[in-house]
């Protein structure tokens, strides 16, 4: 008993020391924050102020934006107000009026246009999207401070269940551990086409660091509209402080869990798997690479990440791999893959046969996420010879499954082991009128419905569209914008910014003039596609390429279409131009289009954000820059 009592005392002392160290770290962190003199940047111009109060007074008197009045009139809570600030910043970056949606040519024009809110009806819908919970501007001091006065005046203290609160807040969550999508999600705030990385920003939880006011003896935390106030004056309460430091991390974790459940649940639908298996381009590429490279597969240990029905695992077993670990997160599909392997005599049962003293079958289906594989089976790190996965999504990176593949590569693949496919490339080209819905609506059973087509094109300027583009509707050259080496790439390389130039195709069938000196056509936007390669690095006997190009047979991935707000007139040759006209118009066609594209993982797990900056360049060197566009997929 004495020994046990001593051990307990030691444990309590160690725990108290640990808590005191964490509290000191937290206080040091807060002290650093307090020592800084925050600059509050105006939502609409470059003016800076020493407090949020003076900033909002400036916005009200100079930009017709009365933040506190809007909050009161619309009954905005903390999260709604947080989203409103990010929404306004995003609109101003695009030179767009936050209340009426009018796009201006410059920030100066926007300043002149700003006006009082005409009607508050339905305006809140403009920033309903939870993407606006993501800080639009890095280290935006305004997000930390706008609610301070309200917190001081608000005496509302609803009763809550203590156990539920502590369960929601989580246990001992450190700030260093609050990351969204492996610390690599980026926020896109493109503003200056001449700066390369300004629109690449790491999304961290710093925007909500002051969400809890640690200087106040009443500790306050908010999760899912639940407020709790804890008196931490006594030493007994010190142990609870660490539980109240961070709430946003648990919200993010719950959101990611929910998205993952929906994502893997969706793959429980057989219709999706039929579509993928019916894709001959997809299947022929994988089947050819697996079955026609015996030096790679015979006797190998293979890891199939996201096996689905297990078709790639069956190919690997057919290619005489000694062991195939088929990992599938969907419980339904894991059961289905197990049954399929069993029905085909390829399921590994873990017991040696009498004849050859080897385990019968090769395929071992494991229902889990690959990041947790070693919790479900015995597997040594770096023990896999071949890692195979069909991880590609729309625009290559949608679904963010590549991060799981890279995790599996780093954790389980042997040094020098093979990854199939081992390369991936994203391509871009400009498309013409036929790539839009305009022609369809111009003749609907003999009736002109082009007014619908125009509206659809306007809507398409805000949303990435997945559809098939005919090769005859491509009006520029194609350019590779990003190459990925899957054997060596790092996780943060999934988020990238790249610049490219498009020039008119001389043989484009969709031109507007037959002038021998020049041919003009309208470029309505850009189309993205990808190719993955099974190269000679690992596939010694037979190499293959899986292409989703408009110039090859169509696949279930189709292409990804990004539509310009206004088409850009482009011309090959030497057109006669009006030196006073805007470049990219009928009277002054552009000779080329310079663009910069950023593709990053969005805060909404498994989604991606795309930003596109476009500049029309005339034959005389003059330029016309179009407002930046943000697309979500």
Secondary structure (DSSP) of 227-244: EEEEE--SGGGHHHHHHH
- Residue given tokens 């790190």 in the structure block: 381
Q: Say how far apart CA 190 and CA 199 lie, in whole Å.
A: 4
State the Cα torsion 465-466-467-470 to the nearest 10°.
90
Q: Say how far apart CA 569 and CA 476 lie, in whole Å.
A: 12
**Contact in structure between 633 and 607 (CB atoms under 8 Å):** yes
Torsion-angle region of 75 (φ positive above 0: left; ψ -120 to 50: alpha; else: beta): left
Closest CA to 236 of 10, 6, 12: 12
Those residues with Cβ within 8 angstroms of residue 551's Cβ, 6 or more apart along the chain or in another chain: 471
Closest CA to 306 of 248, 387, 194, 250: 387
Residue among 200, 219, 399, 613 flagged as catalytic: 399
Closest CA to 89 of 53, 49, 125, 141: 141
Q: Say how far apart CA 212 and CA 215 lie, in whole Å.
A: 9
Closest CA to 558 of 284, 270, 288, 282: 282
Q: Say how far apart CA 267 and CA 144 lie, in whole Å.
A: 40
- Cβ-in-10-Å burial (0-12, 13-18, 19+) of 554 comes to middle
**Contact in structure between 398 and 556 (CB atoms under 8 Å):** no
**Tokens representing residue 609 in the block:** 């954000």
Rounded to a whole number of angstroms, the CA Rg of the chain reads 29
Those residues with Cβ within 8 angstroms of residue 617's Cβ, 6 or more apart along the chain or in another chain: 583, 590, 591, 592, 593, 594, 623
- Cβ-in-10-Å burial (0-12, 13-18, 19+) of 225 comes to exposed
Helices (H), 39-146: 52-63, 67-74, 78-93, 107-113, 141-145
Residue 414 — φ and ψ, nearest 5°?
-65, 155
421 preceded by a cis bond (ω within 30 of 0):
yes
Closest CA to 475 of 525, 518, 517: 525
| Residue 148 is among the residues annotated as catalytic for this protein | no
**Tokens representing residue 20 in the block:** 């005191």
CA 581 to chain centre: 38
Residue 141 — φ and ψ, nearest 5°?
-60, -30
User: In the 8-state DSSP scheme, what is residue 436?
Assistant: S
Those residues with Cβ within 8 angstroms of residue 189's Cβ, 6 or more apart along the chain or in another chain: 89, 90, 93, 136, 137, 138, 198, 199, 201
| Residue 531 is among the residues annotated as catalytic for this protein | no
Residue 391 — φ and ψ, nearest 5°?
-100, -10
Those residues with Cβ within 8 angstroms of residue 160's Cβ, 6 or more apart along the chain or in another chain: 226, 227, 228
Helices (H), 347-425: 402-412
Residue among 328, 390, 531, 613 flagged as catalytic: 390
Active site residues: 390, 399
């Amino acid at each position: 008993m004495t020994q046990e009592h001593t051990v307990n005392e030691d444990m309590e002392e160690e725990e108290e020391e640990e808590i005191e160290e964490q509290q000191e770290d937290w206080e040091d962190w807060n002290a650093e924050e307090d020592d800084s003199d925050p600059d509050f940047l105006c939502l609409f111009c470059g003016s800076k102020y020493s407090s949020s109060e003076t900033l909002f007074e400036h916005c009200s008197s100079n930009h017709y934006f009365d933040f506190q009045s809007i909050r009161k009139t619309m009954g905005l809570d903390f999260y709604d107000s947080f989203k409103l600030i990010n929404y306004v910043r995003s609109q101003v970056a695009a030179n767009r009026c936050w209340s009426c949606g009018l796009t201006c040519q410059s920030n100066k024009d926007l300043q002149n246009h700003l006006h009082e809110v005409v009607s508050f009806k339905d305006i809140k819908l403009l920033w309903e999207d939870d993407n606006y919970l993501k800080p639009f501007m890095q280290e935006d001091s305004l997000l930390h401070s706008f609610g301070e006065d309200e917190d001081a005046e608000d005496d509302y203290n609803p009763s809550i269940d203590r156990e539920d609160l502590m369960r929601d807040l989580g246990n001992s969550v450190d700030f260093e551990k609050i990351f969204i999508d492996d610390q690599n999600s980026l926020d896109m705030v493109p503003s200056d086409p001449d700066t390369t990385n300004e629109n690449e920003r790491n999304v961290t939880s710093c925007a909500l660091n002051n969400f809890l006011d640690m200087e106040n003896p009443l500790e306050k935390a908010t999760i899912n509209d639940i407020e709790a106030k804890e008196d931490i004056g006594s030493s007994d309460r010190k142990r609870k402080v660490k539980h109240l430091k961070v709430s946003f991390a648990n919200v993010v974790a719950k959101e990611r869990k929910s998205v993952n459940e929906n994502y893997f649940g969706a793959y429980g639908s057989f219709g999706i798997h039929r579509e993928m298996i019916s894709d001959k381009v997809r299947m022929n590429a994988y089947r050819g690479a697996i079955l026609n490279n015996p030096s790679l597969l015979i006797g190998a240990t293979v890891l199939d990440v996201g096996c689905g029905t297990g078709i790639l695992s069956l190919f690997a077993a057919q290619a005489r791999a000694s062991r195939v670990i088929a990992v599938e997160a969907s419980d339904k599909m894991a059961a289905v893959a197990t049954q399929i392997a069993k029905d085909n005599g390829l399921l590994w049962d873990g017991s040696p046969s009498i004849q050859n003293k080897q385990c019968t079958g090769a395929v071992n289906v494991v229902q889990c996420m690959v990041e947790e594989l070693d919790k479900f089976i015995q597997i040594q790190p770096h023990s896999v010879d071949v890692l195979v996965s069909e991880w590609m999504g729309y625009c290559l990176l949608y679904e963010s499954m590549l991060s799981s593949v890279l995790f599996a590569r780093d954790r389980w693949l042997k040094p020098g082991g093979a990854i199939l496919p081992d390369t991936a490339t994203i391509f871009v080209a400009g498309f013409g009128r036929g790539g839009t819905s305009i022609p369809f609506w111009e003749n609907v059973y003999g009736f002109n419905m082009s007014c619908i087509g125009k509206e659809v094109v306007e809507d398409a300027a805000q949303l990435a569209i997945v559809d098939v583009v005919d090769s005859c509707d491509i009006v520029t050259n194609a350019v590779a914008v990003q190459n990925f080496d899957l054997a060596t790439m790092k996780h943060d390389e999934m988020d990238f910014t790249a610049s490219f130039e498009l020039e008119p195709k001389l043989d484009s069938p969709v031109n507007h003039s037959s002038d021998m000196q020049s041919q003009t056509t309208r470029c309505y936007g850009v189309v993205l596609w990808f190719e993955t390669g099974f190269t000679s690095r690992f596939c010694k006997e037979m190499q293959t390429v899986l292409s989703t190009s408009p110039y090859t047979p169509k696949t279930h991935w189709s292409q990804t279409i990004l539509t310009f707000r206004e088409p850009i007139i482009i011309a090959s040759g030497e057109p006669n131009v009006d030196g006073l006209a805007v470049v990219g118009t009928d009277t002054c066609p552009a000779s080329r289009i310079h663009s910069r594209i950023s593709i990053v993982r969005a805060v909404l797990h498994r989604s991606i954000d795309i930003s596109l900056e476009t500049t029309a360049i005339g034959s005389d060197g003059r330029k016309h820059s179009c407002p930046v566009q943000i697309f979500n997929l």
